[in-house]
Copies of this chain bind each other. A is one copy, B any other.
Amino acid sequence: MGEKTVTACLLIVGDEILSGRTTDANLPFIAKRLNELGVRLMEVRVIPDAEARIVETVNETRAAFDYVFTTGGIGPTHDDITSGSVAKAFGVKLMRNPEAVRRLERHYPPGALNEARLRMAEIPEGAALIDNPVSAAPGFRLGNVFVIAGVPRIMQAMFEGIAPLLVGGKPVLTRSVSCTVGEGTLAKGLGWIQDRYKSVDIGSYPYFRMGGFGTSLVARGTDAALLDKVIHEIAELITSLGGTPSIDALTG
């Protein structure tokens, strides 16, 4: 598409997601917000609370993507090992950060800031703190890696704090059209349309709801006028095959 694509990877640290006990709610939020900011989420990995896996994965992904976000594992308990693992990945020390201590001191009632909670002020040397307006304990940024909380409410507040720091490309826009024509019937004509508009990504997504199958056709790209053209050609294709296209509003 001409301009540079700014890429990101999300690392969800959490045994509880891998065991199926908890359903992750952070991926859809981060995916949408990055999209709005013109940053392309290229990969997501869910990895266990295991130091070696976190270190390896952080080092692999921070070399491969412009931005890396981690969620989870920065609380006060023994299974919260993300901060220490990220420090190790960068080869720097984990140190008690005086500003993080001050924030915790302001947040907790007298006597409540015990040794366990002070662990949340252990931040890799050289990292910049990320504000936590919900529960004080900060995240941090080290190089191109942003380490934020796993609890959705805290994660979202932290993300909004760092969003202005992210330098994205042109936002990717989405238009879509739905119908009850099967995707196998649409496939040939859809392929032709895709071939003629290389700068637009056309996706076809079958769905099953309200007792029947249908197909959503989604066009993604940075040029709103071109997307409009493509989506109307797809709508004509649907009509020519006896279907009724339902064009959705521009999003993204």
Given the complex of chains A and B, what is the CA–CA distance between A213 and B151 in angstroms? 10
Per-residue 0/1 for A90-114: is the Cβ within 8 Å of any B Cβ (1 yes, 0 no)? 0000000000000000000000101
Q: In the bound complex, do residue B19 and residue A35 qualify as a contact, i.e. CB atoms below 8 Å apart?
A: yes
Q: How far is the CB of A140 from chain B (nearest CB, A)?
A: 18
Interface of A (DSSP majority class)? mixed
Q: How far is the CA of A35 from the CA of B22 in the complex (A)?
A: 13
CB distance from A41 to the nearest CB of B (A): 5
Q: Is the CB of B15 within 8 A of A117?
A: no
Contact of A45 among B43, B203, B220 (CB under 8 A): B43
* Cβ contact of A27, chosen from B17, B116, B203, cutoff 8 A: B17
Complex formed: what's the CA distance from A16 to B209 in Å?
18
Q: Which residues of B contact A115 (CB under 8 A)?
A: 188
Q: Give the Cβ gap from A192 to chain B, nearest Cβ, in Å.
A: 9
In the complex, chain B residues whose CB is within 8 Å of the CB of A22: 205
Asked whether, in the complex, the Cβ of B44 is within 8 Å of the Cβ of A184, the reply is: no
Chain B residue nearest to A117 (CB atoms) is B184
> In the complex, which residues of chain B have a beta carbon less than 8 angstroms from the beta carbon of A243?
none
Q: How many copies does the complex hold?
A: 2
Q: Tell me whether B194 and A78 are in contact (CB under 8 A).
A: yes
Beyond A44-B46, A151-B208, whether A21 also contacts B187 by CB under 8 A is no
Please tell me if A122 contacts chain B, counting CB pairs below 8 Å.
no
14 A-B pairs with C-beta separation under 8 A: A15-B203, A16-B218, A17-B27, A19-B31, A20-B34, A75-B204, A76-B184, A77-B186, A77-B187, A78-B194, A78-B204, A79-B202, A116-B185, A119-B187
- Residues of A at the B interface (CB closer than 8 Å) are 15-24, 27-32, 34-35, 40-49, 53, 75-80, 112, 114-117, 119-120, 135, 151, 153, 172, 174, 176, 183-188, 190-191, 194, 201-208, 213, 218, 220, 252
- Contacts A15-B203, A18-B42, A116-B191 known; list 13 others, CB within 8 Å: A18-B31, A18-B41, A18-B44, A21-B176, A43-B45, A44-B44, A76-B184, A79-B194, A112-B184, A114-B185, A115-B188, A116-B184, A117-B187
